[in-house]
Copies of this chain bind each other. A is one copy, B any other.
């Protein structure tokens, strides 16, 4: 452990409790392999297919754990939950709230595609529109919290959410105990934190590598041990809209700093599309940009140059919520 953390903020007990809470309502997702990929890139790769998870992404794990635990602890004092999200976490929270019989209000930016708004409404949540920037999202969400007395469940920077995402690592190490490393995409860092806490407690020698879109500049932050990002929080310009938040969360940053490797895999749009194409064409799975970024990291020269003793490499396919009428390598049908 690096000195920035005093113990694991998310303990193995937190993660196994999360699993007990959520497992029977979620998919135990399969691990896919591709001998073509392995022989081309010179290691054994294992693809954890969270794109098959309920609501199409890993987010349902953390959302369901947070909402269920909240209800366990506060019972009828909880009158509803809210969050701001343009995508996967909004769907996941709406689904989790519906599952627990709680009202839910999701704040979404005005430019969110109708298909995503409809998915959130489909799980019974109310939708409130806001301006498409992080500041407006946070302010609108705070207003709903105070007006309706709803509890805010952030998409990432919350230990119960992290504990839920950590269940990915429990399953993955059960399925592939010999994993030497896990590649995982970071947006605000909830999934990386949960996976890193769980995996490092189960297998201290495992390496956790973060994958980011170009412009996030996480490696410099990790090497200097400081949050170097501009305020207010910004989006980076990437086709992987699930990981466009530039800053890691305040709770996530020290965890990632302590537990993840300093070498961060930075991916361009062209590389992300190449990763997505491989998944569609050869693995026969539909994935979104964030998952394409992780495959791109697995394909990268940077990984190829790393220690050959990293033999068994896990790749988290975190979600599959791509708009199938807007596949990035194909033109869109005219309206």
Contacts and interface: CB of A to CB of B under 8 A. Distances in A.
Interface in A43-85: 49, 51-52, 56
29 contacts: A32-B52, A49-B284, A51-B284, A52-B283, A52-B284, A56-B282, A56-B284, A277-B324, A280-B324, A281-B286, A284-B285, A284-B286, A284-B287, A284-B320, A285-B285, A285-B286, A286-B286, A324-B329, A325-B329, A325-B330, A327-B327, A327-B330, A329-B333, A330-B331, A330-B332, A330-B333, A331-B331, A331-B332, A331-B333
Pairs of residues from A and B, 10 with the lowest C-beta to C-beta distance, nearest first:
A284-B320, A284-B286, A51-B284, A30-B30, A280-B324, A330-B330, A281-B324, A331-B331, A280-B286, A331-B333
Interface string A310-335: 00000000001000110101111100
Contacts of A325: 329-330
Contacts of A277: 324
Interface in A1-44: 30, 32
A276 to B, nearest CB: 9
Interface in A274-295: 277, 280-287
Nearest to A52: B284
Interface string A93-128: 000000000000000000000000000000000000
Contacts of A282: 56
A286 B330 CA distance: 16
Contacts of A329: 324-325, 333
Interface in A244-286: 277, 280-286
Contacts of A286: 280-281, 284-286
Contacts of A320: 284
Contacts of A333: 329-331
A23 to B, nearest CB: 16
Contacts of A49: 284
Contacts of A32: 52
A52 to B, nearest CB: 6
A145 B332 CA distance: 47
A287 B280 CA distance: 9
Nearest to A35: B54
A186 B333 CA distance: 32
A278 B277 CA distance: 19
A110 B285 CA distance: 30
Contacts of A284: 49, 51-52, 56, 285-287, 320
A44 to B, nearest CB: 15
A330 B326 CA distance: 8
A273 B199 CA distance: 42
A174 to B, nearest CB: 16
A28 to B, nearest CB: 11
A324 B279 CA distance: 11
Most buried by B among A283, A286, A325: A286
